[in-house]
Structure 1
């Protein structure tokens, strides 16, 4: 979402779009049903599945969010309250400003939204996840993930080449 005023429950994630359950092996997961996505047809809902991830666990973060910022089902999933107590949806621009202020403070440079897509793809490639699974899970209708694979191969080969000199 580009701005706070652009929020629409029919287009953006709300608390009602988040579901918690257990898989067949009794492991917890969350399912986020996206009311709209650039990779979906009109009125097609796409689901994103999240599982436990250790210290940076998205499930724990979603549970914490629900307890720290209680809201109604049709309120934005990601939000904050302003100084007057009004609900403000998290806008992409504001989120990236906050993330970049932290990254710059730590001397790590800046990022842009699409960096998370390549970061996620690189993470799964490093975990030896089949690229076809990434293609399906990422709801890619084309093959941009192949660009990420090539970038990952180039970066990893540079790092591996440098390990021989250490």
Structure 2
């Protein structure tokens, strides 16, 4: 019996170390955050912060980016390709967020590993993105004015 207990503990500990976490959740002690969320918060929120007020922000919030790039029929692969295309060719002619370019200029060229950008795109596409308190009212006002574009077309 004495040899059974240490053997059981050894199997239990080894089994726990080999288990892999297969899903991501916010605020759960048993699961990790999605790596794309962590990367987005670290690399994108510097300028695209959901907590910046409307007047003092450096760039549009990430929810605005999502709303300009994701339509009802957009696939995750198309979204990832569009984001990669923007990072590869950040010019005024390649922009989809014309109001943001007018207000903030073209986003400065950043070097983000393709794998990291894919993780960020994956997270943005599949999840609700935090938005500033003022965003919904602003977004609806821009739609009414006819200023918002998605995929090169007014929405």
Question: What is the TM-score when the length of structure 1 is the normalising length?
Answer: 0.24
The structure where strand makes up a greater share of residues is 1
Question: What is the TM-score when the length of structure 2 is the normalising length?
Answer: 0.26
Identify the structure with bigger relative contact order (alpha carbons < 8 Å, sequence gap 6+). 2
The structure where helix makes up a greater share of residues is 2
